[in-house]
Each structure stands twice: as structure tokens, then as C-alpha cells.
Structure 1
């Protein structure tokens, strides 16, 4: 879905002209939205005000972080922490969160792209209009080594959104219902790569969860309507124009620092279900924990999950704080070694930044992809990589413009707080083994 599919060649100059023209056309409508999110008090992130994001959500949770813009990865968020109501201080979650690659192989085998390291994803940052950031603020971003005369792009939106019910519970009496709407801090950018526009969004929920998504939109490339090998899908009238199918394999890189320490521990949980035996009314389920002490190339499967555990912090109940990894729907692409697994955990190395075609020189024999970095090192500072795939077989409805198709995952707090951080005060006493009041 890029440029002329007969040659499948990309030229830096052509892309630069496209980005420059679109940026120029959007500049007139870009700028800060009229309404701004409420600023949270007491800045804690180690960055200047221009690069600080602080938001106290209406439900009482405050998120704090820093941002910067990388010349290849695009938006990078750092020093991410949150403070639920009732907690005396902020709880650090991540040192950094960023995209690790968007790998795009075509079904016909003629071409594949690494959009972050090979096709200037970061250069394609787009100006945003105020209507794209309702109730929020559009920040100006200076794009490193920009092709444009003006490297400053109004391209980073921070706003808040409702996500629907956070909870609902019938109370002790028939006329008492506890319910609340969940609120999110939304941070996002749009980057154009060829015909595609990637929406990279980070949702920071008031319950402590973080959801990261990449949404592909823009346009189907008319130059790719030539799938003569029979793999493509007919677009338009008849069956003469077939759009070439392809995959989007998106990687994220998360450097955890729970409670401010990078000495986090990784655990894997697997459950097995056995048929009922004599005297039992139902099947039984047994869950086992495996401590992951060395680098891991892991695969999602039924009844399997992972968590990152704080080495230093506990909640008010005395339980170790942790974050559970919640993979989203994925289509695993088996064509490359680095896409054959869903999750990688590697020992921190400042040189290891991109899941494929890593540009840095990480030493002799280190390899250029994340699978090569899983080589048995002990995990004293684990870094997590998540791979979520999407096989895009085009359809008539993809034109014109193409609806957003999303791929992503979440990390959810597990024992970070002693109770639901959104618990209403009236229910605050119901922690653990409680009995109705007489």
C-alpha cells in the first residue's frame, strides 16, 4: 500500500515532497484546542514544562509523564507514573514506552518494509486540526533532521475521553446501584508512511491500566491493484483490479520501572483444566507459576499470561505490586524469525531499540533483531517487547478513505492498589473477607 507496485521502490525525495505538501496544507487548521485538560498539581517527571504531560482525571487518578520525539521511533513517553485517589504518592510504572517497529511484508513476496527504521516513519509526523483533539491540547513537536523548511509540527494531542462503564454493582438494597464512567488520558500522534497514516495512541486509564494501539488508515494505493498472482482481493468493478494483501506486524518496547526500580521480576502463569473425577461436580483448573529468570521468547496460548512484578513495592495489603500483560487479537506472521513469537523479554541494552533492522552497533554477533537478543542472559533489568500482527486483505469498504483498523494490547495493574482505585467511599470497608453489616 505504498508507491508503484511494479517496482515497489521508495524514494526519500518523493516521500519528502508528499509529507511537506500535506503538512503545508494542514498547518492552517492546526493549533491548540480551545478547551484544555485540567493540569495535575505537583509535577514529578524530570522534564521541562514543555515536555511534561500531567492530567488529573475527574475520577481522581493523576497520570504524569515526559515526552520526546525520536528521529526513528517517533513519540517516546518516559517516566510514566500514576497516583490513584487514596494513595499518598505517585506510583512509577515505566521508564519508557515506545514503538519498536512496524514490519510490513507483502503476500506476493516481492517486498517488505520496516517502517520505523527503513521508511522514515518519524519524518511523516502530521499536523493535527483542533477538531482532531476535542477538549485537549495540541503540542508542537520539533522533528529531528526534518525534510521540511519548518521542522515544527503541531502533531501531539493530549486529551481525555470516556470509555464507558468503569463498574456497575447492585447494592444491598434494591434501590441502590453503584456505577461510574471510566475516564482516560489519551495521547496520540499521526504519522504518514507512503499511502498509510498510522495513528499511534496511548490510553492511560483512571483504574491504572495502559492501552497502546496502532491504527492504520489513509488510503489504499491504486498502484497496488495488480495482484496478478491471485493472492489479492478485487477492488472496484469486476475482478480486474486486485489489491495486494499484506501484513502489519507492530512491535512495542516497554522498559518497566515499577516503584522506581528496574529490578523487576517476570512470571509466567499457565493453567490446565482436567475433567471431573469421581465425586466432583465440575472440571478442575490448576494454575502454576514459572519464574522467568532468563531472557524469554514467549507465545500466547489459552490459559497463559505473564506479569511484571515490582522488586521493591507492595500495596497496603502487603502484596507485591505488578502489571499483567494483556495481549490483543493478533495474527502471528511466521515468515521472519523475529515475528514468530508474541512476546520477548530481553535484558536491558541501550543499543537494542528496534525489533528488526536495529540500526545500532550492539557488538559483534549481537544481531539486528529482537529474537537474536534472547540468548540466555539473566534478567536483572527486563525489557518487554510485544508483537501484535494484522493480516490486511483489502475489501471494497477500505476505500475511500480507509477506515482505521486497530491492533494493540494492554497492561493491567495487578495488586498495585489494595482495592479498586475507583471504589466509592461507601464501599471502602469491603476489603478481603467481609460480611454485611448487621
Structure 2
């Protein structure tokens, strides 16, 4: 486990009480500059508003991301920006490795023009491709797509009546496609009507016809055991810059749950938090999560607004130190743009997240770098075109609103322990 030296003492959840105070008015939503706006209201009444643009290396960038709902109609900021920060692709043979963003790029000439079924049922938006000689093309797909069941409750009231509350969820989906070599990558953000943001990268295209290897580092593709497609990794990084409530002063906390004795029926568990005060790299383990919380903004219950990092399937590539941490928190600096291969002349010594975190700066404007690994062991079904495979993570609201933004009218009075 990696932790920062500047972490505060552990505090139990029982000590997390906050004095109730009304939510503060959020700053006004700024207009987009040098980019294009998306503002869409989903069927359940949630409205997402944001700016988007294409950057030559990173591809799709979302900025100034705000959310509102029928229950909580004021637009409140979640993110300053979110984008891809690197795609490291080392091959198991040890003979080939690429940094797809900094070596090639997801924007400019490598950004695909949307056509065919790329944006079926959605709106293909025209914008600059972000290249050194920018062209305006259909490069962003915006669509509303059915999501999982948002909630389901069979409720019984005091008079013996019962009612079923059931609602289908909807996602606002923003999608761009980049072609790098034989692979085609789908950069996708799903903005859910419950406030969750899903960031994910899809890979499709073709297996590289030049990357066939010996049996111990490949998988037999085609007839018999003659051709072995090379196994390789996709180490994807995202750069997430929060700005909860649009006020800055965000903070970072880590939560860990451990066994602390035996109860009457089962083990007792104790959850503690650690304030992450300084830059550092961190590794996921069972019963651990991180959240970024506003230093000033609170919901109407008086609780600090925050978003929690939720990690899913993840296969760590351990051959590089910079691909080992699951998450890195650093102080925001404009020249720290990419997780690896950073070449901004404004900070020549800062080549990777390890360099960014090494200063152990105090976090007053934290940036979260998330790494999600995928070991691609090819299979016969990857021919051709290759079916999409996905890797990514969720940013889930935690106390961002006092109750769910999708709460139905019949349940609005439920907030806290029911009173007799």
C-alpha cells in the first residue's frame, strides 16, 4: 500500500457529525469559451450542462460540468474537467510498447469523423478536431440511452395500502472515436440521471497483423496452433479535476473498513477515514474507497457535498512503477497534463504522476489520476472487426444532495430515521 506522509489521524465514522446548515447558493454557470456546449434534460428531469472540446493528444475533453434535477433545480458544478491522460500499451513479448496519447494522439488526424451507426439514435455534433491544422467535422456523438433500473420499492403504508415505485434510468452519453494503428478507441462518458459519471474507454478495430509471437506470449488465432496473436496491456489513465459547488478548496479522504471484534451474531466492522492532506499515490484494497469533498459547499442536510471513486474490473500492470498505483492525488498545475510521457516545457522535470506526487505538496486544489488496466489476451472472436471491450470507473455522488435527485413524489418525506 502507498500512502502519503501528511495524512491526518484516523477518525471513526461516529465522529463525523456535522452541524446542520442550509446549502449555500452555487456560483453562476459560466459560458463556454473556445468550445461547444451540451445542455440536455433526461426523461426523469435531470439536466446536465457542460463544455466540450477536442485536444490533439487527449481527444475528448469535458469541462465545466454541472448537474441539476427536478428535485434540486439549481445547477451545481461537479467537475472543472475530465479527460484521458495516457494509454500505455506494452506487449508481453517485451519488444513493443506504445504511449498512444503522447506518441500519436486521440485528436487531430487520429480523430474519426462519425458515420454509419457511430451515432445511431443520437446527435452527431460538429466541432474542431483539435489538430494542429484544425478542421470542423462530426466528431462527438450525444445521445440519451436507457440505463439500468433506477430504483424499485414495494411500499406499504399505515393503512395497509401498498404501492410499487419503479423507474427506468437514463444516461446522457458523450462519445468520440479515435484510430491509432490497428486499434480504434471509443472515449465515452455516461452522465446518469442519478448524478453518477461513468468514464470508460472501449477498444475495437483489429488485432495487429504484425504482432504475432511465440506460444508462451500469445494465443492461437486461426486454424490449429500456428499463429499466436500477441498478448498485451491497455493501461488507461484519466485526469479528473473536481470543483464541487464551483468554489474550489476541495479535499480528499480515504475510507477503510476492518474487523474490530465479534458481535452477538457476526463480526463487528469499524470504518475509519484518513484525510489525505498531501500529494501521493494509492492502491485499492478490499473495503477501501476514496472521495473528493467540497471544503465549503454543503447539501440542505448540512453535509459536505462529495463524489466517491468507484472502481470496477481492473488488471494492474506491475512492470512500470507509474502503472502500479490505482489512484494518484496531486496539486493542480497546468503543465502536469499526462500521466506518463509528459513533455510540457513549463515543467521539464515532471514526466509522470510519480514526479508530480514526489513534491508532497499540500492539496488545496486536488487532481485525481485514475489508472485502469486491462490485459488483452486475444481470442478467435476478436476477428474481425474486434468486439468492443471496455475499461473504466464511476464517480458516484455522496451527499451531493440531501436525498436522491430521482426521489418520487410519494417518498419525499423520507429523510433520516423515521420518527414515531
With normalisation by structure 2, the TM-score equals 0.89
Q: Is the 8 A contact 1:125 1:153 kept in 2?
A: no
Number of residue pairs aligned between Structure 1 and Structure 2: 388
The match for 1:273 is 259
Q: Which residue of 2 aligns with 1:252?
A: 238
- Match for residue 294 of structure 1? 278
Q: Structure 1: how far apart are the matches of 2:388 and 2:238? A: 19
8 Å CA contact 1:259, 1:310 repeated in 2: yes
Judged with a 3 Å threshold, the aligned counterparts in structure 2 of structure 1 residues 74 and 275 are, in CA distance, closer, same or farther, namely same
Alignment of 1:370 with 2:353, yes or no, is yes
Q: Counterparts of 1:378 and 1:48 in 2: how far apart (Å)?
A: 30
**Aligned counterparts of 1:104 and 1:75: Cα–Cα separation in 2:** 20
Kept in 2, the 8 Å contact 1:189–1:201? The answer is: yes
- Which 10-residue stretch deviates more, 371-380 or 202-211? 371-380
Distance in 1 of aligned mates of 2:176 and 2:261: 49
| Between structures 1 and 2, the one with greater strand share | 2
Partners of 2:130 and 2:262 in 1: how far apart?
A: 62
Preserved contact between residue 36 and residue 127 of structure 2 (Cα < 8 Å)? no
Structure 1 residue 361 corresponds to structure 2 residue 340: no
Give 2:140's aligned residue: 156
1:140 equivalent in structure 2 = 126
- Cα separation, 1, equivalents of 2:226 and 2:106: 32
Asked whether the equivalents of residues 55 and 131 of structure 2 are also in contact (C-alpha less than 8 Å), the reply is no
Unaligned segments of structure 1, at least 5 residues:
1-42
* Residue 48 of structure 1: how far off its partner (Å): 5.7
Kindly indicate whether residue 223 of structure 2 is the aligned counterpart of residue 237 of structure 1: yes
The reply on whether 1:305 has 2:289 as its aligned counterpart is: yes
Deviation at 1:328, TM superposition (A): 1.8
Contact 1:45-1:52 within 8 A present in 2 as well:
no
Contact kept in structure 1, 2:221 and 2:379, CA below 8 Å:
yes
- Return the offset for 1:50: 6.7
Q: Report the 3-state secondary structure (helix = DSSP H, G, I; strand = E; otherwise coil) of the residue aligned with 1:230.
A: helix
Assess if the C-alpha contact under 8 Å between 1:268 and 1:307 holds in 2: yes
Pairing 1:381–2:365 present: yes
**Aligned position for 2:306:** 322
Per the alignment, residue 168 of structure 2 pairs with 181
Using the TM superposition, give the Cα deviation of residue 262 of structure 1 relative to its aligned residue in structure 2, in angstroms.
2.3
Residue in 2 that maps onto 1:398: 382
Q: RMSD value over aligned CA atoms?
A: 1.8
Matches within 5 A, 1:68-217: 68-122=53-107, 123-129=109-115, 131-145=117-131, 151-172=135-156, 175-217=162-204
- Following superposition, the deviation at residue 68 of structure 1 comes to 1.1
Q: 2:211 matched to 1:218?
A: no
Residues 205-244 of structure 1 deviation map (CA, whole Å, 9 limit, x = unaligned): 010000000000011122222x126210010001110001
Deviations 1:5-64 (Å, cap 9, x if unpaired)?
Answer: xxxxxxxxxxxxxxxxxxxxxxxxxxxxxxxxxxxxxx9442169700000111011000
**Which residue number in structure 1 is paired with residue 335 of structure 2?**
351
Aligned counterpart, 1:15 = none
How much does 1:152 deviate?
2.8
User: In structure 1, what is the Cα distance between the partners aligned to 2:411 and 2:266?
Assistant: 33
Deviation at 1:133, TM superposition (A): 1.9
DSSP 3-state at the match of 2:101: helix
- Cα 1:198–1:370 change in 2 (3 A) is same
Shift of residue 303, structure 1, vs aligned partner:
0.4
Q: Does structure 2 retain, via aligned residues, the 8 Å contact 1:45–1:66? A: no
Partner Cα separation in structure 2 for residue 130 and residue 425 of structure 1: 41
Q: Contact 1:275–1:282 at 8 Å: present in 2 too? A: no
2:320 maps to 1:333: no
The alignment's TM-score, normalised by the length of structure 1, stands at: 0.85
Deviation string 1:78-132 (CA, Å, 9 cap, x unpaired) is 0001012222411100101100000000001001100000123323111212633
